[in-house]
Copies of this chain bind each other. A is one copy, B any other.
């Protein structure tokens, strides 16, 4: 269930009734570009979906669960809901760390929370996205595709290891 503050998602129950497996995280770094900064000298608020997506793409590569894996299964995974809480600014040339955290869901959902920190650890921005599965006709696909169900099984079993 979605709450309004980071990490936004409450733990769900795993398929077998046990507590949900702990969330999985991956962190990437990014430096604010000149073109991202606005007239008030901070990264314009509308650029943060791009920062979140960097971390989401990095997560997919690290855990073997990418846009291409879904595409090969005949699905796309559009974002259905996004929330962003802006706490502190990012400035031109400033480096930051973006962590994407995947939260267990029994349903056909991909729930990520995000946290952007300055290099000194100060939390600048948090947010979340909810993705669903759509098939080639644009209809919501109500089940986890096979490769993703396998990914979730390894997650439950605690045998997933990120690499890359």
- Total interface residues in chain A, CB < 8 Å: 33
CB-CB < 8 A to A54: which residues of B? 33
In contact, A34 and B67 (Cβ under 8 angstroms): yes
Docked Cα-Cα span, A11 to B58, in Å, equals: 41
Residue interface bits A57-95, CB-to-B below 8 A is 1, else 0: 100000000010000000010111111111000001100
CB-CB < 8 A to A37: which residues of B? 38-39
For this complex, 20 residue pairs linking A to B, each with C-beta atoms less than 8 Å apart, are A33-B53, A34-B44, A34-B57, A35-B49, A35-B50, A37-B38, A38-B38, A39-B92, A40-B78, A45-B78, A45-B79, A46-B49, A46-B50, A49-B49, A79-B86, A81-B84, A81-B86, A82-B82, A82-B84, A83-B84
Q: Chain copies in the assembly?
A: 4
List the interface of chain A (C-beta within 8 A of B): 2, 4, 33-35, 37-42, 44-47, 49-50, 53-54, 57, 67, 76, 78-86, 92-93
Docked Cα-Cα span, A85 to B47, in Å, equals: 17
Q: How far is the CB of A123 from chain B (nearest CB, A)?
A: 14
Q: How far is the CB of A88 from chain B (nearest CB, A)?
A: 9
CB-CB < 8 A to A42: which residues of B? 78
In contact, A38 and B34 (Cβ under 8 angstroms): yes
Interface residue from B44, B47, B49, B83 paired with A45 (Cβ < 8 Å): B49
Docked Cα-Cα span, A35 to B83, in Å, equals: 18
In contact, A83 and B80 (Cβ under 8 angstroms): no
> Given A33-B54, A45-B49, A46-B53, list of 12 further CB < 8 A pairs?
A2-B4, A33-B53, A35-B38, A35-B50, A39-B92, A40-B78, A42-B78, A45-B79, A46-B49, A79-B86, A81-B83, A82-B84
